[in-house]
Amino acid sequence: MGKFNIEDYIAQLSIDCVIFGYKNKELKVLISKLSYGENLWSLPGGYILQTESIDEAASRILRERTGLDNIYLEQFRAFGGPDRIIGSEFRDLVRAGLRNFDSNRFDDEAIDWVTSRFVCIGYYALVDLNKVEPRIGEFEEFLKWVSIDELPNMTHDHNKIVAAAHKALRQNLDEKLIGFNLLPEEFTMREVKELYEAVYDREFPMNNFQKKILGLNVLERLGKKFTGAQNRAPYLYRFKK
One digit per residue, pLDDT tens: the chain, 241 residues?
A: 678 889 999 999 999 999 999 999 999 999 999 988 778 999 999 999 999 999 999 999 999 999 988 889 999 999 999 999 999 999 999 998 888 877 778 889 999 999 999 999 999 999 999 899 888 887 889 999 999 999 999 999 999 999 999 999 999 988 788 888 999 989 999 999 999 999 999 999 999 999 999 998 889 888 787 665 556 678 899 888 7
3-state helix vs strand vs coil in the chain, percent to 5:
35, 30, 35
The pLDDT value recorded for residue 195 is 95
Closest CA to 23 of 184, 234, 225: 184
Q: What count of residues does the chain have?
A: 241
The pLDDT value recorded for residue 84 is 95
Give the span between the Cα atoms of 94 and 101, in whole angstroms.
10
Is-contact 111 6, C-beta < 8 A?
Answer: no
Give the span between the Cα atoms of 163 and 236, in whole angstroms.
32
Give the span between the Cα atoms of 31 and 158, in whole angstroms.
10
Q: Where in the chain is the domain with CATH 3.90.79.10?
A: 6-179
Q: Is 236 helix (H, G, I), strand (E, B) or coil?
A: strand
Give the span between the Cα atoms of 65 and 44, in whole angstroms.
7
Closest CA to 216 of 161, 169, 175: 175
What phi-psi label fits residue 70: left (phi over 0), alpha (psi between -120 and 50 degrees) or beta? Answer: left
**Structural class in CATH, domain 183-239:** mainly alpha
pTM of the model: 0.92
What stretch of H or E contains 222? strand 219-224
Closest CA to 124 of 26, 47, 45: 45
Is-contact 212 174, C-beta < 8 A?
Answer: no
Reply yes or no on domain 6-179 having CATH 3.90.79.10: yes
The pLDDT value recorded for residue 228 is 57
- Give the number of other Cβ atoms within 10 Å of residue 215's Cβ: 8
Q: Where in the chain is the domain with CATH 1.10.10.10?
A: 183-239
